[in-house]
A and B are shown apart, each in its own frame.
Chain A
């Protein structure tokens, strides 16, 4: 057991990060599955992190309630900004949500209660491994159920052809709002979990770069199934650590890997149909 304790004391934060990033990648997968290119998820994560951290530090709420509040707060914000913003689509939606992210970051930067640019320090370490594992499991299960229901089919229909979806009796605006706020909820919970194992949060962590990172995780892994975003987020979290020996060339190799994947596997690493076909061929070869 000793080796495990050693491993855990060194790498527990990294393992936690893998879980949190998986949640974030799933949150953007949800909006993407409805055809929405939204880059607001880093901001939603930030809202969740700050709300949760402030509730823990100032009001001493129980951790479960704090996590729930960390999800609900950004979901409510998403409901409010969703009505006007979701009228946009494609890159215009990406721009608007990016701008929203900046508004959130600058607000947090200038408020007193959030600690301004210094951030919040001394957040109690409440997150444990099983919290993340359990929430990730519930999220994956819930999203898998959603996919195979009328809601998942409605999302897919909206993604493929909005007009046709409307004429199939789908209330497109409502479903877009649903995807947007559910994504915000998941990102918020991820932020709340994150705040309670990093000890410290600051506005820097929820800016433009993070918004793009979250999108990259989902796109690298592939958005055709739930496995893709989790695979992508794991790789992007672990790769910098694995490449540590390369020192200064680390981010170069990191970038090169990304470029290669986008060039040769434009639908992401995990594309359900390709992988199914591969296993079929494998079986056929043996028979």
Chain B
């Protein structure tokens, strides 16, 4: 009766992307298991954010397959992919600065508010109830990242770290099954990083899958269950943090080759 259990939430197979003659990604394959924290690392310009853009539908792959819960994502528009259960944050934060925090999070609930035009115009009980519930849920999500006391503040007035947290809460508001985090600790100080590490762990424990791009090695190694390493558009290693750490190809990519 039930569909067969998908062991992997996200499956990327032989994906390639080129812009004209420039091959950004070649033959990239890896699987993100459900209920885990997966990391994608690699030097600058390796093509990590391109992977995220392909998954979220901002770009279309030139080759290969991307499946989410057994269904292909290729050709779906970004908002459809969000609807399937994938949310993301951005490397260069993209919150809605002219809205307050509560509204920011409520934008993420867009898909889950099912009242229609007449409901809005007539201020129907169903519409009011849905809005009230959404507001409560938004406050709850803000409290997860410790921002509920600033709910009425304009997002533009938040500190850098808080803006990242808001983006987090907003992504969770779309009720994703998989959360894509693009360099979540970029520009944070060590204590902020430790707090965020706990928060990401909490989010995983609440049942979300997490897939992150990150430069901070200590952060990635301490948090991720599995890691893939991307270099010049190719996956050069994949495995547990320990396996990846000791892989000679990875060491070479990051530290360069020893002179013979």
> Residues of A with Cβ closer than 8 Å to B?
142, 145-146, 148-151, 153-154, 156-157, 160-161, 163-172
- Write the chain B residue with the least CB distance to A141: B121
Q: B171 to nearest A CB, angstroms?
A: 8
| Chain B residues, Cβ within 8 Å of A171 | 77, 79
Residues in B neighbouring A151, C-beta threshold 8 A: 117, 120
- Give the interface segment out of B41-49, B103-111, B193-201, B230-238: B103-111
User: From residue A144, how far is it (CB to closest CB) to chain B in Å?
Assistant: 10
Interface string of B78-101 (1 = CB under 8 A from A): 110011000110100011111100
Between-chain CB contacts (< 8 Å), 13 pairs: A145-B123, A146-B120, A149-B120, A149-B127, A149-B131, A150-B113, A161-B96, A166-B78, A166-B82, A167-B88, A168-B82, A168-B170, A170-B79
Contact: B120 with A145, CB < 8 Å?
yes
CA distance A114 to B13 in the complex (A): 62
Query: Besides A153-B110, A166-B77, A168-B110, 6 other CB < 8 A contacts?
Result: A150-B106, A150-B115, A166-B78, A166-B79, A169-B83, A169-B111
CB distance from A159 to the nearest CB of B (A): 8
Say yes or no: A142-B121 contact (C-beta < 8 A), given A157-B96, A166-B78, A167-B56: yes
A145: which B residues are within 8 A, CB to CB? 120-121, 123
CB distance from B92 to the nearest CB of A (A): 11
For chain B, which range describes its interface: under 10, 10 to 19, 20 to 34, or 35 or more residues?
20 to 34
Asked whether A163 lies within 8 Å of B94 as measured between CB atoms, the reply is yes
**Shortest distance from the beta carbon of B53 to any chain A beta carbon, whole Å:** 10
How many whole Å from A136's CB to the nearest CB in chain B?
Answer: 16
Chain A residue with the shortest CB-CB distance to B122: A145
Chain A residues whose C-beta falls within 8 Å of the C-beta of B36 in the assembled complex: none
Q: B251 interface residue, CB < 8 Å from A?
A: no
B58: Cβ under 8 A from any A Cβ: yes
Q: Which residues of A contact B83 (CB under 8 A)?
A: 169
A154 touches B107 (CB 8 A): yes
Residues of B contacting A148 in the complex (Cβ-Cβ under 8 angstroms) = 131
Chain B min CB distance to A155 (Å): 10
Contacts of A164 in B (CB 8 A): 90, 94-96
Query: Is A172's CB under 8 angstroms from B106's CB?
Result: no
Q: How far is the CA of A130 from the CA of B241 in the complex (A)?
A: 73
> 6 closest A-B pairs (Cβ-Cβ)?
A169-B111, A169-B82, A164-B94, A166-B78, A149-B120, A150-B113
For the complex formed, measure the closest distance between the CB of B144 and the CB atoms of chain A, giving whole angstroms: 18
Residue with the highest number of chain A CB atoms closer than 10 Å, among B77, B120, B173: B120
Q: Is B174 an interface residue (CB 8 A)?
A: yes
Q: Indicate with 1 or 0, residue by residue over B169-197, a CB within 8 angstroms of chain A CB atoms.
A: 01001100000000000000000000000
Residue on A nearest B82 in the bound complex, by CB: A169
Q: Which residues of A contact B79 (CB under 8 A)?
A: 166-172
CB-contact partner of B82 in A157, A161, A167, under 8 A: A167
A170 touches B56 (CB 8 A): no
Q: Mark B110-136, 1 if CB is under 8 A from A, else 0.
A: 110101010011010001000100000
Residues of chain A within 8 A (CB-CB) of B98 are: 156, 160
For window 4-43 of B, CB contacts with A under 8 Å fall at: none
In the complex, A8→B83 CA distance in Å?
Answer: 57
Q: How distant is the Cα of A148 from the Cα of B111 in the complex, in angstroms?
A: 16
